[in-house]
């Protein structure tokens, strides 16, 4: 016979999306200035062709990416990690380990009409199997582009709240989300994941 607890432990914050302006406009410009035009590559998705395989599939995802330049002090990832650690202690209380070498954060560039990332979750196979929290750091001001909005399934957020330059958005890696198609301008964000042991 299976005995179930009479009062399951539930965290009402599990479905939270954390939003806070963490970086100044000058700091965002510093990150943008460190990017190299020659390093942009077409973004890929994983999990559709088998374990650990990433492919270009523009019907599902269309944008450019390059790895995040990190300076000798650890900027900007050290600041992001500190903020996520504090948010996690208050909200999700997941067991976290940090960033991992084989799934480093990226700068994403949505610069073409129609660039998008269809509805998906970030938790997957191989290197993505240990993702606990995803994040998006807004490097461009929302007034500089149209479309391209980050959206969450059944969690309502105002566009201005999510698109202010310097804003860090953190959410569970298993939560369904998307980037809507771009219609005008360009949107650049730092995107990455904090890893940890399996959910249990």
Q: Give the tens place of pLDDT for each residue, 167-191.
A: 999 999 999 999 999 999 999 999 9
User: Is 9 contained in some domain?
Assistant: no
User: Is 100 contained in some domain?
Assistant: yes
Arithmetic mean of pLDDT, 119-138: 94
Q: How far apart are CA 147 and CA 182, in angstroms?
A: 4
Read off the CATH number of the domain in which 39 is found: 2.60.120.620
User: Which H or E element spans position 108?
Assistant: strand 106-110
Domain count, the chain: 1
User: Is 8 contained in some domain?
Assistant: no
Range of the domain at 25: 18-195
User: Is 175 contained in some domain?
Assistant: yes
User: Is 7 contained in some domain?
Assistant: no
User: Is 13 contained in some domain?
Assistant: no
Among residues 155, 154, 156, 147, the alpha carbon closest in space to that of 180 is found at: 147
User: Is 121 contained in some domain?
Assistant: yes
Asked whether residue 48 carries a pLDDT value surpassing 70, the answer given is: no
User: Is 130 contained in some domain?
Assistant: yes
pTM for this entry = 0.93
């Amino acid at each position: 016979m299976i005995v179930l607890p009479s009062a399951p432990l539930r965290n009402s914050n599990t479905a939270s999306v954390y939003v806070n302006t963490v970086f100044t406009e000058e700091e965002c410009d510093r990150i943008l200035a460190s990017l190299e035009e020659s390093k942009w590559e077409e973004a890929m998705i994983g999990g559709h062709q088998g374990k650990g395989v990433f492919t270009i599939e523009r019907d599902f995802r269309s944008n450019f990416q390059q790895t995040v330049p990190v300076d000798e002090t650890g900027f900007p990832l050290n600041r992001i990690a500190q903020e996520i650690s504090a948010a996690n202690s208050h909200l999700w209380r997941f067991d976290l380990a940090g960033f991992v070498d084989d799934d480093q954060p990226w700068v994403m560039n949505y610069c073409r009409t129609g660039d998008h990332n269809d509805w998906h979750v970030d938790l997957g196979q191989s290197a993505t199997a240990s993702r606990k929290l995803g994040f998006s750091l807004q490097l461009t001001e929302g007034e500089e582009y149209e479309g391209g909005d980050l959206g969450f399934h059944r969690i309502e957020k105002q566009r201005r709240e999510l698109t202010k330059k310097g804003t860090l958005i953190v959410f569970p890696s298993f939560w369904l989300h998307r980037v809507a198609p771009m219609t005008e301008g360009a949107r650049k964000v730092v995107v990455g994941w904090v890893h940890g042991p399996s959910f249990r």
